Structure 1
């Protein structure tokens, strides 16, 4: 299946009857509270599964809304078909188990990050994760546009704080932006709490960014 940007794969509260595998594009997972507040909890990249809650219960409900950020190509697999394939195809089972373990570790790390790290460190970690820093394969050269509001929702702070930290990172030479943001690997020093000094030579990763003044 193919979706254009801003189209939804599924909505929170609907029946979870299938799982998705993203071939191309980027998507986001959001939740809405009872009071109507929306938060972005994860970004989905090519090679990721999502909608795995469908494997848990026959008549379970979606706990999140999945929306395409860019044009996406994805494989939609019915619940029973996926369960049978996992039993039949050992290679698929290995890939899926590895993905779920990685996802569980990421959720645990996100919880620790939210509980113990400052919003500045959470922002630095989010930017590095978006650039796939420290993950398998090379970092992504380009990431779909993301607003300050979305970043604020992801790290649990305000847009004004995100703007403040982004400007601070830029002044320290940890990021650059001229129509898009370029993340330097030394941004990890914010998380490690090392001294932050202006940089001269550095490795960098480019991310399109919108919302900075």
Structure 2
């Protein structure tokens, strides 16, 4: 039989207020929310701010695997049997986080179809993003990968959520995100700024014109670009 949602249940309201099994916490920029190897016992929902997900290899190499923003979840692997965190979550800006215990998350997913639909939509969007990231890494040049990363960080393409000013992101982080060197990132950032695609002076403002780099082979970019 099809489950019926409880009258008036609002997933956003549920994720906005602390109660038994869920708590709200504030974190400063660069503060670790959870570390790779920590017990996986809760799911985090980002109310405000941006969070960087990184993975470290046994050799000490770090890779940025995702940048998450408001209304996104992280740490959901605990629901699939992960006992330890597979990545480290670090605040890129001041953040406000709702932490939902695993048992509470399992219960609400079972009892509230409206919440389940919202969460499944999140998982599908994350899967699509991972597939797009893989295609981007395999087939696009480094300048296109950087342009796409900047547009995603600025929330271009998210309906109703324009955010042209993005969090302070180091060139090292950008290099880790797109699989190139910091010097190449610096080269293309300067090029994008000269072409008027971005404003880059302490903080970063991304203009919609940067889309031309992703959608087309801009001649001024291509002359100075690399293919890997």
* TM-score, length basis structure 2: 0.82
Distance in 1 of aligned mates of 2:56 and 2:28: 22
Q: Which residue is equivalent to 1:209?
A: none
Question: Structure 2 stretches of 5 or more lacking a match?
Answer: 1-24, 222-228
Partner secondary structure for residue 165 of structure 2: coil
Number of residue pairs aligned between Structure 1 and Structure 2: 197
- Aligned pairs for 1:80-91 within 5 A: 80-91=103-114
1:73-112: per-residue Cα shift (whole Å, max 9, x none)? 1111111210110111111111111111000000000000
Distance in 2 of aligned mates of 1:108 and 1:172: 30
* TM-score, length basis structure 1: 0.87
Partner secondary structure for residue 166 of structure 2: coil
Q: Which residue is equivalent to 1:101?
A: 124
Match of 1:181 among 204, 209, 220: 204
Confirm or deny: 8 A CA contact 2:165 2:205 kept in the other structure. Answer: no
Confirm or deny: 8 A CA contact 1:152 1:159 kept in the other structure. Answer: yes
1:3 paired to 2:27: yes
Confirm or deny: 8 A CA contact 1:189 1:196 kept in the other structure. Answer: no
Runs of 4+ off more than 3 Å: 194-198
1:109-148: per-residue Cα shift (whole Å, max 9, x none)? 0000011111111000000001111112131143211111
Confirm or deny: 8 A CA contact 2:165 2:206 kept in the other structure. Answer: no
Confirm or deny: 8 A CA contact 2:167 2:204 kept in the other structure. Answer: no
> 1:47: Cα distance to partner?
0.8
Distance in 2 of aligned mates of 1:2 and 1:180: 22
Question: Structure 1 stretches of 5 or more lacking a match?
Answer: 199-213
What CA RMSD, in Å, does the superposition of the two structures yield over aligned residues? 1.6
Distance in 2 of aligned mates of 1:66 and 1:55: 17
Confirm or deny: 8 A CA contact 1:22 1:74 kept in the other structure. Answer: yes
Please tell me whether Structure 1 or Structure 2 has the larger radius of gyration of its CA atoms.
Answer: 2
